[in-house]
Amino acid sequence: DAKTTQPNSMESNEEEPVHLPCNHSTISGTDYIHWYRQLPSQGPEYVIHGLTSNVNNRMASLAIAEDRKSSTLILHRATLRDAAVYYCILRDGNSGGSNYKLTFGKGTLLTVNP
Amino acid sequence: DTAVSQTPKYLVTQMGNDKSIKCEQNLGHDTMYWYKQDSKKFLKIMFSYNNKELIINETVPNRFSPKSPDKAHLNLHINSLELGDSAVYFCASSQVYEQFFGPGTRLTVL
């Protein structure tokens, strides 16, 4: 499984944008970049994913470097509810359909200050 | 409407006992998983099932036996519980681009 590297922790202020970086220098051409987050005492939840182009959804934006060796998850206006551990995960696009494993690293613990 | 549910939420038991954790999803997904999150918060896949068939088995001790009576349910039975089995166990189901996780079952072995 291709590895990702994330900062252990980051801090942000409420209502400010947050940029969470992820390095994945050994990414292969078929690997998708997925982001999940885990709120305290809850299961992980999907945030966003992408392959080559930048992506936006209601939760966040994903900016992918042109060489795909790094990506950044962008929360446009952090709220207290966004305090969580954020995981950047590479998923093999060749794995079969809906059956694939997610390999979680340590993630980034995001603290949001009021 | 709970998408992925697990019971029980908490489970405290003695070493050597046998216990089961149940999982149900109402999303109509074909694939379900069990993950384990240990005390250091590392989250690791244990098993995956697709349409009641075991697909992924990540070198988990054979004391752990998943069972899928139908594609909406994936239960985890653990024999001869050990102290090291203490962890939070998450069930999940998936469509192509997203896995949906349950709330977790915190297992404490005394």
Q: A108 to chain B nearest CA, in Å?
A: 12
- DSSP, res A5: B
Residues in chain A closer than 8 A to B58 (CB atoms): 101
Asked if the peptide bond before residue B66 counts as cis, ω within 30 degrees of 0, the response is no
Q: A99 to chain B nearest CA, in Å?
A: 6
CA distances from B57 to A100, B34, B47, B61 (A): 12, 10, 5, 10
| pLDDT tens string B57-107 | 887 899 999 999 998 999 999 999 999 999 999 999 998 889 999 999 999
Residues in chain B closer than 8 A to A36 (CB atoms): 99
| pLDDT tens string B25-63 | 999 999 999 999 998 888 999 999 988 888 888 878 999
Residue A31 near residue A20 (C-beta atoms within 8 A): no
B53 interface with A at CB cutoff 8 Å: no
Q: What is the pLDDT of residue B59?
A: 78
Nearest to A42 among B41, B48, B103 (CB): B103
| pLDDT tens string A17-34 | 999 999 999 999 999 999
Residue B54 near residue B71 (C-beta atoms within 8 A): no
Mean pLDDT of chain A: 93
B67 interface with A at CB cutoff 8 Å: no
Please name the residues between 6 and 45 in chain B that touch chain A, using a CB distance below 8 Å.
29-31, 33, 41-45
- Best B101, B105, B106 member to test A by mutation, with max A CBs in 10 Å, is B101
